[in-house]
Amino acid sequence: MADTHLLNAIKYVEQNPVKAFMVKYPWDYKYTSCLKRLNLVKEDILLSSHSLINSIENYKEFLEEDNKIDLIKEKTRTSKPCGDVEFYNKIKEITGIDYTNKKAGRPKKND
């Protein structure tokens, strides 16, 4: 789960200038890490290396793939952690807080 979340978060961040209508493609943005990852610049001294990111064979295709941006937006809007059912169960086990989605509204009275 952690690897999947990291990859989705990277896509989300790299797509921000596109979503803000600043550029047409992520690699058109001057201050993006994808310039180095796509070998469009020789060096980026601020960019660190990570084995998961380095394992991506085609970074351009990776950025263009369908991703979980809507999921990340929903979790940000609702202030819930971003994860699957297994992740929520683990959080509930540790903290006692249940983050699973529930039906909206007031609970029905038991007669």
What proportions of the chain, in percent to the nearest 5, are helix, strand and coil?
Answer: 50, 0, 50
Higher pLDDT, 68 or 19: 19
The predicted-structure confidence for 84-108, as pLDDT tens digits, reads as follows 788 888 989 999 998 887 777 887 7
pLDDT at 1: 53
Q: Which of 39, 57, 53, 58 is closest to 8 using CA atoms?
A: 53
pLDDT at 12: 85
Instruction: Determine the Cα angle at 75 with ends 37 and 86, to 5°.
Output: 90
pLDDT at 28: 93
pLDDT at 67: 60
Instruction: Determine the Cα angle at 65 with ends 63 and 70, to 5°.
Output: 95
* For range 67-90, the mean pLDDT: 79
pTM: 0.56
Phi, psi of 93 (to 5 degrees): -65, -40
pLDDT at 42: 82
The predicted-structure confidence for 32-61, as pLDDT tens digits, reads as follows 888 888 888 887 777 777 788 888 889 888
